[in-house]
């Protein structure tokens, strides 16, 4: 009888774990939403970094075909440099945590 109980219990636990695993899997829609949110956070941070350094920069509106950020031509290289510095700084900090 104990063997039957163990098999039944094992089967029930496996079923519960399988259900939990399936509920943790994200739908395509959820992945798209999370990706969009992450994209918006990045755009916001890039604009913020540029503005903090006095660059002529702003986020665009209405899904502009020219991109998500407008930056003055003469500030373009400085913005790329600031983004690179920020990534390297964060990467360096992450490696020491």
Using CB atoms within 10 Å of the CB of residue 22, give its burial: 0 to 12 exposed, 13 to 18 middle, 19+ buried: exposed
Three-state DSSP at 45 gives helix
Q: What are phi and psi of 58, to 5 degrees?
A: -160, 155
Roughly how many angstroms between the first and final C-alpha of the chain, as a whole number?
Answer: 52
Tens of pLDDT, residues 34-49? 999 999 999 999 999 9
Give me the residue spans of the domains in the chain.
28-95
Q: What residues does 57 pair with on adjacent strands? A: 71
Tens of pLDDT, residues 4-59? 444 455 567 667 667 666 667 888 898 899 999 999 999 999 999 999 999 999 99
Closest alpha carbon to 28 in 20, 16, 40, 36: 36
């Amino acid at each position: 009888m104990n063997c039957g109980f163990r098999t039944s219990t094992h089967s029930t636990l496996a079923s519960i774990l399988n259900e939990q695993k399936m509920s943790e899997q994200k739908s395509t829609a959820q992945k798209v939403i999370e990706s969009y949110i992450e994209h918006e956070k990045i755009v916001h941070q890039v604009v913020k970094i540029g503005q903090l350094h006095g660059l002529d920069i702003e986020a665009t509106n209405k899904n502009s075909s020219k991109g998500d950020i407008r930056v003055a031509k003469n500030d373009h290289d400085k913005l790329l440099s600031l983004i690179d510095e920020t990534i390297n700084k964060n990467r360096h900090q992450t490696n020491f945590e």
